[in-house]
Every structure is written in structure tokens, then in C-alpha cells.
Amino acid sequence: MKKLINDPADVLAESLRGVAAAHPGLRVDHANRIVYRAQAKADGKVALISGGGAGHEPLHGGFVGPGMLDAACAGEVFTSPTPDQMAEATTTVDRGAGVLHIVKNYTGDVMNFEMAGELAAADGGVEVRTVVTRDDVAVEDSTYTAGRRGVGVTVLLEKIVGAAAEEGQDLDAVASLAQRVSDGGRSMGIALTSCTVPSAGRPTFDLPDDEIEVGVGIHGEPGRHREPLTGASQIARQLVDPVLADHDFTAGPTIALLNGMGGTPLIELYLMYGEVTSLLESAGVEVARCLVGNYITSLDMAGASLTLLAADEEVLRLWDAPVSTPGLRWGA
Amino acid sequence: MADSLTHEQLVAWLAAFRDSVHEHRDHLTELDAAIGDADHGTNLTRGMDAVMAVVAADDAPDTAAGLLKAVGMKLVSTVGGASGPLYGTFFLRAAGAAGDASTLDAGAVLGMLRAGVEGLAARGKAELGDKTMVDALAPAVEALADAVANGADLATGLRAAAEAAATGREATTGLEARKGRASYLGERSKGHTDPGAASATMLVEALADAVG
């Protein structure tokens, strides 16, 4: 393992120290590992919190700020934060209008947020709603399994729903918008290499130089199958086809996210985006807005994921609203 | 023969589990790397170290219920991931069943374990055969129940429980995961022992060691 760290056990705490030093717009509660806006949102507005294991930066702490999240709870690398942390964040950000929890569909995140919601409701009387993102089409979905993973659509949802909360929509409206966005998003990812969790010290999985992992998640958990490494144009098909097969994106405008897993340079991500847009165009998908870059990463894993979100005029208006966070900033 | 669980044995159970988690930390993490996200060993180690600090404190609760509750809360607030709420719920429910007694007879130990396992299964929405901790814990509880019904002493019953847990753990190897991150692998999860079933077996073995 070759990383810019001190002790593997201190990675999260020391990284949060750097976050606090780098971003005066944020306030970091080091004891509870919560990233807040330095200046809290106005009274009477719905607050949004999210959280999850560290290692996915800029998710979620990098999306705290006006126009997006009110707080983000950081867990250990790839490990869900704990209910007491989330309950603390929930009671702190509540401005009397309730709090929306944005949860990615992983067993640990779902269970910890569930316990946090019970705690915050019992202790502080805060009204909590929850949206669980589950956009990864690589995972089979059935009532007998944990269901699809929440991946890239989480970023898009935090932006869109964050704008709705900022303009004063109430908790019912914010929660139902969040569900609508969650339902309209689909993602697919591939990996060229494994990532290395600092505490484990070696790659999570072995992937030969001439193979790719298709359908990989954001924790380096292996995907559903492996294929020989081919050119970018063929790999782009591996991303686009399963997403389009799962949902019809030709009915209206679409927001696209071509996301890097942390270890892939932008030159390759842009090259891939070029391939992806050609495929989407020939499939009749109109991409109205896009993001290309590292937004929901997996430490040092090389690879990329594609997220498509079915949008409408309302969603695009909220997408275009000002946002000012370390990871996403425009119009502000 | 040991026919009850004393406070000292309860503490010895937790210490033995902590030691076992330490000893097998890398093994648990390797099992997790095969089908999950490679942190089960490190997360449990962190949680059990925090638990032992609570247990060793001067103001540690002196009833079984009080101690088990403190252990559950500590695990919930330090482990994270899925194992935090699962192990935490196990101890919180076990505390609820333990009542005011400081020494638990065989029937009370059975009631405590059963409540803990039922709580854990409910929290994880897992059933037998899903390739989870439940596959080790549910057979362990049934083995203890059989032993107690047949008049065996607690030590003998817990030894049977530990053996049943190990058998359940081994059986997870051939199963396809239906819960947790391993479920994303579908068929590919077969051939790997479930890390949660492995640590849960260590929990039962530690209890058998502490009493036997």
C-alpha cells in the first residue's frame, strides 16, 4: 500500500482536519465527525442531511453548503456512520421544518439511519423523512434481497432536492420530490482496478491487467462478472446499454453524470463521455445537463460509472439554481 | 458443573470475544473482502476495544441487564456499518431479557440469547439461509434450548450451542447471499464463508469458554 497517510486508524480524523482548514464555509464537529455549513440555514426551511462511509469524496461532506446539504456524517472508510452521530446532526440542523435523510441503499446505512431517525424523533421531537437511493442497475432487485445499491443518483438528488429545500418547499414536498428523483435515476459502473482500504492495507480484490469488473459498486465490492479489457467505445456500451435497458430516457430531458471512481484521470473520463454521448444520441436520449468528474469515488479505484436521471422543467430549474459547496458550485 | 452465568463470567465472555476478534481480525477482514467491503475485522476490533473500556470502568453497571445494555449502546455508537446495529441490537435485546438478576441460570441465559438473536434478525430482516450471522446464531440458540430441555447443565448446553454455531457458519459457504453487500454478488457469493456468521460463532464460542 502506497498512500499519503500516517496511521491507517487516523485517516478519517486527519482528513476532516484538512477539510476544516481548506473550507471556511464549513464547520466540522470533530468529536462527532459531522460536517456542517458554517452558517446555518434560515428558520422554517427543511434541512437535508446525508452521510456514509468515508472514501467517496467529495461525497458527502463536499456537498455541504447553500443549495445542497445542511450536514454530512462521515463514517470510517466504507463504513456507515453511527446512529448517535446522525441523530446529533439531525437535531442540530433542524430549523423547525423537519429533516430529510438521504440514504444510499446499503444494509449498514439503512439500519443506522433507521435507528437515528428513531432517536431524533424520540429525543428531540424532530420530524424526519427518509429517501433511499437505489439506482444501480448492475444489482438484481427482488423482495428477497437487499435490493439495488444507491450510487451516482445520490449526488444529483442532493443538488436538486437541496434547491427545493432552499426555496422553502415544505417537508412533504421535499420528500416527495426526493422520491421522484430517486425513482427516475439509473446507474452502471465498471472498474479497471481494485481500491485499497487503508486499514486492510492491500487491494480488496485481484483484477488481472487485461480484465475489467463490470457492474462494480462504490466500495470495491466485486461486480457481477468480468470481461476482457477492450477499447473505450466498447466499454461505453457496457455502461449505456444496461441503463437504457432498465428505464426509458427518451420521454424528456435527461441529466447525465459520468463519474470517476477516484483513480481515473479526467482525460479518460472526457474520452468516455464522448463515447457515451454518441451512444445516447443515437438512442434518442436528449442530455440537457451533465457532470463529468470525480463526484462519488471509491478511494483509488480506477474506473467510471454512468448515471442518467429523467428530468423535467421543474427538475432542470432546481438543477440550475445556485449552489455553493466545495464539490459543486455555480450561480452563487 | 457450571449451571449459571455469574457477573464475572459475563465479563469474561466479553473479554474472550474481544480477544478472539483481535486474534482473528485479519481473517474476518479477508472473509469480508471476498464478498463484502473488507472491514468486518477492523470494525469489530474497534467496537470491542471500546466495549472493554466501558466494562473495565469503575462505574461499570453491576447487573447483567445494565452491563449488556451499556455494551449494546457502545457497539451501536462505535462499530458503524451493518455489524454495529446488528451486534448492538443483540446486546440491547439481551439486556431487556436479562432482568434485574446478577447471576443468570440456564433458562435465563437461553432467554437472553433468544431475545438477542430475535432482535438482531428483525433489525437485519434476515432469515435462516440468507447467509448472515443468523445462520450461526439461530442454530446455536436451538441447540442450547434442546440441551436445557434435556436437563443438561449450562456449560454442556453452551458447548453444544458453540458447535451448532460452527456448523451453521460452515453451511454459509455454499449459500447464495440474500442480505447485505454479499447479496450484490448473487451466484458469485457461493464458495465463501459469511464473515458475520464467522464472528457470531466466535461470540458463542467465547460464551462457552467463559462458562465451561
Please report, as a single letter, which amino acid is at residue A134: R
A33 backbone φψ class: left, alpha, beta (φ>0; ψ -120 to 50): left
Residues 6+ apart with CB under 8 A from B30: B38, B41
Span A241-264, pLDDT tens digits = 999 999 999 999 999 999 999 999
Q: Reduce the DSSP state of residue A95 to 3 states and report it.
A: coil
Local structure of residue B192 (DSSP, 8 states):
S
Asked if B179 is an interface residue toward chain A (Cβ–Cβ < 8 A), one would say yes
Q: pLDDT band for position B31 (50/70/90)?
A: very high
Asked if A145 is an interface residue toward chain B (Cβ–Cβ < 8 A), one would say yes
**What is the interface pTM, i.e. ipTM, of the complex?**
0.83
What is the overall mean pLDDT for chain A?
Answer: 95
With DSSP H G I counted as helix, E B as strand and the rest as coil, what are the percentages for chain A, rounded to 5?
35, 25, 40
Cα separation, A209 vs A50, in Å, equals 36
DSSP E strands in A99-206: the ranges are 99-104, 128-133, 185-191
| pLDDT recorded at residue A229 | 96
Q: pLDDT band for position A220 (50/70/90)?
A: confident
Which residues in A lie closer than 8 A to residue B188 (C-beta atoms)?
222, 224-225
Cα separation, A307 vs A303, in Å, equals 14
Cα separation, A37 vs B194, in Å, equals 40
| Continuous segment of H or E residues that includes residue B106 | helix B106-124
Which residues in A lie closer than 8 A to residue B180 (C-beta atoms)?
107, 146
Cα diameter, chain A? 55
Mean pLDDT within A17-44: 98
Q: Is B1 a residue whose pLDDT tops 70?
A: no
Q: Is B179 a residue whose pLDDT tops 60?
A: yes
Cross-chain Cβ contact B43/A144 below 8 Å: no
Local structure of residue A283 (DSSP, 8 states):
T
Q: pLDDT band for position A222 (50/70/90)?
A: low
DSSP assignments along B40-93, one per residue:
HHHHHHHHHHHHHHHHHSTT---SHHHHHHHHHHHHHHHT-TTHHHHHHHHHHH
Which residues in B lie closer than 8 A to residue A77 (C-beta atoms)?
39
Mean pLDDT within B166-174: 97
| pLDDT recorded at residue A282 | 97
Q: How close B66 gets to chain A, by Cα (Å)?
A: 19
Any idea which residues of A carry the catalytic annotation? 56, 219
Cross-chain Cβ contact A138/B178 below 8 Å: no
Asked if A53 is an interface residue toward chain B (Cβ–Cβ < 8 A), one would say yes
Which residues in A lie closer than 8 A to residue B33 (C-beta atoms)?
200, 204-205
Among candidates A80, A139, A144 on the partner chain, residue whose Cβ is nearest the Cβ of B184: A139
